[in-house]
Structure 1
Amino acid sequence: MPPLVPAISPRLRSKLRTLAKTQLKAVQRTYDTLLSLEGYSALSAAARKDIFSSIAFSADLWFQCLLDGTQPTSEVMDQTAAFARRRVHQNVPLRSLLRAFRLGARELWRTCTELAEADPALAHELLFDVSPYLLDYFDAMAEHIAEAYLDEQHQQARWRGSLLQQLYDLVFHAPDDTARFRETVEALGLDATLPRIALAVDLDLRDHAPSVREDALDRFALSAARHFEVKPDALVRVWHRERLVFWLPCVRGDSMTRNDQRAAEHAAALVRAEPRVRSIGIGLMNEGARGWAASVEESLKAVDFAPRGSRADDDENDNEHGDESGNEFGNFVRVHRFSSIAIEESVRSSANVLRYLVSLAEQLATEADLLATLAAWFASGQRRRQTAETLGVHPNTLDYRLERIETLLGAKLDDAQWIARLDIALKLRSATQSSERDGKKKEKKGRLGVKKAKRAAH
């Protein structure tokens, strides 16, 4: 509660009563200064009106308490707390709110010192009686406001967590309930019609105990929001299939291609800044509950079927070597776009087409060096001289191998359709081999775990 009110002389009381009726100037000065603070400058017209009213209310209350010699009632304190609770939902930071109170106290004191300049006989009373009260009063009110603000923030976090869980259930288990999806998204303060892109982030959280993992995810989400240049609340997140999934808002009106490229560029910056990120998969732009779910599946496939960068595993005597080529985002490929494997994925959905393309690669695998030759030829942009140098063979040897590929498959390597077919066939084979390596690694880890358990038992 605010401190006890000091007794003031009739002369000062008369002056303060007049001042209380004309203190709009101090209120306006405080309001104008607040608009430059973080969280206040972007407020809507209605919110700004609420801010001005709360400043005037606080100033009137201080004068009323001082003139009446009474402390604020419980109803007034509840009203003051309500101002603080509204600031939470207006996205005004607590530090800005407390700074606003300090500014208000300063402006009221400046107004009071003007009385002393006009009537020096009041200076002693203002300095030694009114000044300490003003400081103690606003300190107590700031503490009351901070408690209300933090309590509302805690309640909002619990409420938001409940809404996010509801959103998760709708997207992955009831995507056709469009009405509830829209209601839930809008309750989170988001635009349900805005397209989004899903990002699946593979994070290394092995040294985080389950009890502190949520805090680690919160910190990472803040970092991600900075890199994607969006407000933290606009970056919706869930933990799904052992990965952290973000739904990133797209730029309305931009093409799918541009939004895809922008997401990849920002993801690359996040990878460089956050060493805990093993890889990030990026889905395609989509909207609605079913669209959000589809983008998540695409982002997961982008990670699961992408070429692996060359780096040592942490497991003892177990190194994984894959495609060592980098991309435009870094030395090793750690940002994977579904758009890069969209054609292969459409092929996977047709069993007959998939079998046909796999058979092309299998046919080449019957003769040594043909698959490696074709892969090198694609990697060099179908330039024969560069391919021969990469393989370390004579150009005539390369010509023979390419002719042999054409003969075995009945293909034409100057035909765009054959080039597309063989390129996809090689990518499908590479993805299959990568999955097989992962399966063998898991099997090996399982055997090592069993051996360690047996040794420990003995």
Structure 2
Amino acid sequence: MPPPVPAISPRLRSKLRTLAKTQSKAVERTYATLLSLEGYNALTAAARKDIFDSIAFSADLWFQCLLDGKPPADPVMDRTAAFARRRVHQNVPLRSLLRAFRLGARELWRTCTELAEADPALAHELLFEVSPYLLDYFDAMAEHIAEAYLDEQHQQARWRGSLLQQLYDLVFHAPDDAARFRETVEALGLDATLPRIALAVDLDLRDHAPSVREEALDRFALGAARHFEIKPDALVRVWHRERLVFWLPCVRGDSMTRNDQRTADHAAALTRAEPRVLSIGIGLMNEGARGWAASVEEALKAVDFAPRAKGTDDEPATRVHRFSSIAIEESVRSSANVLRYLVSLAEQLATEADLLATLEAWFASGQRRRQTAEALGVHPNTLDYRLERIETLLGAKLDDAHWIARLDIALKLRGVTSAAGHDARKKEKKARAGTKKAKGAAH
């Protein structure tokens, strides 16, 4: 509660009563200064009016306390707390709000010193009676609004967390409930009709204990919002299948291609700035609960199946993987017959040494024969023989665009299959070793 109000002389009371009716300049100066502070500088017109009204109310309240000789009543304190609670929803940081109170106190004191300049007889009373009260009063009010602000922030976090859990359940378990999806997204203050792109982020959190992991994710999400140039509240975040998933708002009216490229550029900047990011998968733009879920699946596949290029000191390997880069292979993978056909092409070449390596080098060199021969370290005639042998075995034409596309996808699919098989063999070997160890321990 604010401190006891000092008794003031009739002379000062008369001056303050007049000043209280004409203190608009102090309010306007405070308001103009606030608009340069973080959080205040991006407010809507309606929110700015609320700020101006709250400054005027605070100034009137201080004068009224001095003139009445008593601290503000509980309903007035509740109204002050309501101002603080609204600042949470207006995204005004607490430090900016407290700074606003200090600026207001300074402007009111500046106004009072003008009284002393005009009437030196009041200087002693203003300095030794009013000045200490002003400092104590605004210190107590700042503590009051900070408590209200933090309480509202806590309530908002719990409420938002509940909504995010509800959104998670809808997207992954009830994607056909369009009405509840729309209501939940809008309750979060977001546009349910705006398309979004999902990101699946692999984060290294080994140095964070479970008790502080959520706080680390909060900090990372704030940094991600800055890199993607969006407000933190616009970045929808969930934890799914051991990865951090973001749904990023797209630019309405832009093509899928442009949104995909823009997201990839921002994600690359994020990986450069944040060494804890092991990899990021990017899904395709989509909308609605089912579309959000599909984009997440695509982002996860991009992380799991995108080809991993080896980096160098001059050009590190990318940690950003786009589903759009493997979209054709994934569509093929979903068709069992087509998949078997394309895999069989690579398997047929595997029956003769060097043919697969030759074809891979040929694609890596952009189908340029001289560069391919140099990469393989063979004579051009040897390369010609191998390419002709590939055509003979497969009945293919390496100058036919359709065959080039087929063989390119076949090699990529074989690479993914080989990598998956290698991982499976490693897990099986590890499991056998664990079983053997357990048996040894039992004996």
**Same-fold status (TM-score > 0.5):** yes
SS at match of 2:5: coil
2:292, 2:261 → 1: CA distance? Answer: 18
1:450–1:144 distance in 2 versus 1, CA, 3 Å: farther
1:133, distance to aligned residue in structure 2 (A): 0.3
Query: 5 Å matches for 1:246-285?
Result: 246-285=246-285
Number of aligned residue pairs: 441
1:152, 1:62 → 2: CA distance? Answer: 25
2:358, 2:210 → 1: CA distance? Answer: 48
1:221, distance to aligned residue in structure 2 (A): 1.2
SS at match of 2:3: coil
1:410–1:81 distance in 2 versus 1, CA, 3 Å: same
1:104–1:349 distance in 2 versus 1, CA, 3 Å: same
SS at match of 2:297: helix
1:415, distance to aligned residue in structure 2 (A): 0.2
2:249, 2:326 → 1: CA distance? Answer: 22
2:249, 2:220 → 1: CA distance? Answer: 18
1:315–1:95 distance in 2 versus 1, CA, 3 Å: closer
1:159, distance to aligned residue in structure 2 (A): 0.4
1:296–1:141 distance in 2 versus 1, CA, 3 Å: same
1:409–1:54 distance in 2 versus 1, CA, 3 Å: same
2:396, 2:60 → 1: CA distance? Answer: 88
1:74, distance to aligned residue in structure 2 (A): 1.1
1:104–1:456 distance in 2 versus 1, CA, 3 Å: farther
Query: 5 Å matches for 1:330-345?
Result: 333-345=318-330
1:445, distance to aligned residue in structure 2 (A): 3.4
1:21, 1:445 → 2: CA distance? Answer: 82
2:439, 2:73 → 1: CA distance? Answer: 72
1:216, 1:315 → 2: CA distance? Answer: 31
1:348, distance to aligned residue in structure 2 (A): 1.2
Q: Deviation per CA, 1:127-166, whole angstroms, max 9, x where unpaired?
A: 1100010011001000000000000000000000001001
1:451–1:54 distance in 2 versus 1, CA, 3 Å: farther
Q: Which residue of 1 aligns with 2:424?
A: 439
1:146, 1:448 → 2: CA distance? Answer: 58
1:446–1:226 distance in 2 versus 1, CA, 3 Å: farther
Gaps of 5+ in 1: 317-332
2:352, 2:283 → 1: CA distance? Answer: 37
1:108, distance to aligned residue in structure 2 (A): 0.7
SS at match of 1:41: coil
1:221, 1:440 → 2: CA distance? Answer: 36
2:441, 2:211 → 1: CA distance? Answer: 28
SS at match of 2:189: coil
SS at match of 2:248: strand
SS at match of 2:406: helix
Q: Deviation per CA, 1:197-230, whole angstroms, max 9, x where unpaired?
A: 1111111222322222211211211221122121
Query: 5 Å matches for 1:21-32?
Result: 21-32=21-32
Q: Which residue of 2 aligns with 1:144?
A: 144
1:128–1:447 distance in 2 versus 1, CA, 3 Å: farther
Gaps of 5+ in 2: none
1:434, 1:28 → 2: CA distance? Answer: 67
Q: Deviation per CA, 1:255-306, whole angstroms, max 9, x where unpaired?
A: 1111111111111111122222221111001111111111001001111111
1:296–1:424 distance in 2 versus 1, CA, 3 Å: same
Q: Which moved more, 1:116-125 or 1:204-213?
A: 204-213
1:209, 1:457 → 2: CA distance? Answer: 33
1:33, 1:219 → 2: CA distance? Answer: 29
1:454, distance to aligned residue in structure 2 (A): 6.5
Query: 5 Å matches for 1:195-210?
Result: 195-210=195-210
1:254, distance to aligned residue in structure 2 (A): 1.5
1:312–1:43 distance in 2 versus 1, CA, 3 Å: closer
Q: Which residue of 1 aligns with 2:106?
A: 106
Q: Which moved more, 1:117-126 or 1:23-32?
A: 23-32
1:313–1:397 distance in 2 versus 1, CA, 3 Å: closer
1:456–1:94 distance in 2 versus 1, CA, 3 Å: farther
SS at match of 1:312: coil
1:114, 1:444 → 2: CA distance? Answer: 85
1:351, 1:198 → 2: CA distance? Answer: 27
1:109, distance to aligned residue in structure 2 (A): 0.6
SS at match of 2:131: helix
1:314, distance to aligned residue in structure 2 (A): 20
Scaled by the length of structure 2, what TM-score is found? 0.96
1:47–1:295 distance in 2 versus 1, CA, 3 Å: same
Give the superposed CA RMSD: 2.7
1:436, distance to aligned residue in structure 2 (A): 1.0
SS at match of 1:339: helix
1:392–1:189 distance in 2 versus 1, CA, 3 Å: same
Q: Which residue of 1 aligns with 2:339?
A: 354
Scaled by the length of structure 1, what TM-score is found? 0.93
Q: Which residue of 1 aligns with 2:391?
A: 406
1:315, 1:168 → 2: CA distance? Answer: 41
1:274, 1:352 → 2: CA distance? Answer: 42
1:447, distance to aligned residue in structure 2 (A): 3.9
1:294–1:30 distance in 2 versus 1, CA, 3 Å: same
1:457, 1:114 → 2: CA distance? Answer: 90
Q: Which residue of 1 aligns with 2:234?
A: 234
2:133, 2:194 → 1: CA distance? Answer: 52
Q: Which moved more, 1:448-457 or 1:219-228?
A: 448-457
1:311–1:421 distance in 2 versus 1, CA, 3 Å: closer
1:153–1:173 distance in 2 versus 1, CA, 3 Å: same
Query: 5 Å matches for 1:111-122?
Result: 111-122=111-122
1:313, distance to aligned residue in structure 2 (A): 17
1:224, 1:206 → 2: CA distance? Answer: 20
1:87, 1:444 → 2: CA distance? Answer: 58
Q: Which moved more, 1:270-279 or 1:415-424?
A: 270-279
1:30, 1:456 → 2: CA distance? Answer: 76
1:315, distance to aligned residue in structure 2 (A): 27
